[in-house]
Amino acid sequence: MSTEEVKVEAGTAAETAPEVDGGPGGSPGSAPDAAPGTARGTADGTSGGARNGTADDAPGGDAAARAEAAKSSRPKQRRMRDMALSLAVLLIPIGLFYVGWNWVASDRQVSVVDTTEHYATAASLGLTVIEPQLGEDWQTISTDLAVEGEFVTLRTGWYSPEGDGLQLAQTTGPIEDVNEELTGAGTPVESGGVSWASYELSSGEAWVAELAGATVVLTAEPDGVNELPDLAEGVAEAVDG
């Protein structure tokens, strides 16, 4: 066999021979690198899951467990006290409302005073005492007699059927002694056939007239102003009678 034929056969054998990987003379890239990469990926995934899952959830679970334990360990007596305080906050306003409503809805009792002694004394001092003709629902709740020199002033407080306070004052002295706000001519008002002078006061309203040789002053608090005509008519009837 010639030298050229030997070279041709050697080249053909080299082209047809299969490649063998993994040996000492093989390529260093494929199989050896795959296993370490896969191992690292698996290890990283497992450890990452462990860190992000169980490890991260542990603090939240511990906090919930501690809160539940604290709640269950709270003294029962303290819980009952808190419930009692809550009920008290609700019941106290309801109780106050109930008491106030009963007071408003029920008939209020007033202390009736006896005016006999003061009336008799005033008459003995020369004052013509006027006892207004009023219904039984009108009640006397106060009386006062003042004597300064020759001046006599008799005051009688009245409780009206509507629950308002009014006053009848009779004086032989200056009108200012009854109320210092009674100055000027006032506004003319007629009631019970009598001409009155009306005055606006800081405490309500007053009607003034000269009757039976004395100055008569009727006063009412703001809520009782609309009942002044009734008192004035009762006074007029007493004078005419």
Identity of the residue numbered 213: G
Among candidate residues 116, 120, 111, the one with its CA nearest the CA of residue 159: 111
Q: Which of 6-10, 39-43, 72-76, 88-92 has the lowest mean pLDDT?
A: 39-43
User: Which residue is listed with tokens 């009678």?
Assistant: 241
Res. 31: pLDDT tops 80: no
Which is more confident, 69 or 222?
Answer: 222
Q: Are 198 and 207 in contact (CB under 8 A)?
A: yes
Phi first, then psi, for residue 128 (nearest 5°) are -80, 105
Q: What does the mean pLDDT of the chain come to?
A: 75
b vs e for 161-183, b when ≥16 Cβ sit within 10 Å of the residue's Cβ? eeebbbbbbbbbbebebbbeebe
| Domains along the sequence of the chain with CATH | 116-240 (3.40.1000)
The pLDDT of 236-241, averaged and rounded, is 88
Between CA 98 and CA 89 the distance in angstroms is: 15
Q: Are 146 and 153 in contact (CB under 8 A)?
A: yes
Res. 193: pLDDT tops 50: yes
- Residue 191's SS3 state is strand
| Residues 35-62: tens digit of each pLDDT | 443 434 433 444 444 344 444 444 555 7
pLDDT, residue 94, reads 73
Which is more confident, 207 or 76?
Answer: 207
Q: pLDDT-derived band of residue 87, with 50, 70 and 90 as boundaries?
A: confident
Distances (CA, A) of 228 to 7, 21, 233: 150, 127, 9
Strand partners, 209: 216
Q: pLDDT-derived band of residue 114, with 50, 70 and 90 as boundaries?
A: very high
Which is more confident, 32 or 76?
Answer: 76
The pLDDT of 132-156, averaged and rounded, is 93
Identity of the residue numbered 90: L
DSSP 113: -
Phi first, then psi, for residue 165 (nearest 5°) are -100, 130
Phi first, then psi, for residue 57 (nearest 5°) are -75, -20
pLDDT, residue 3, reads 46
The pLDDT of 147-171, averaged and rounded, is 94
DSSP 104: H
Tokens of residue 16, six digits: 């047809």
DSSP 225: G
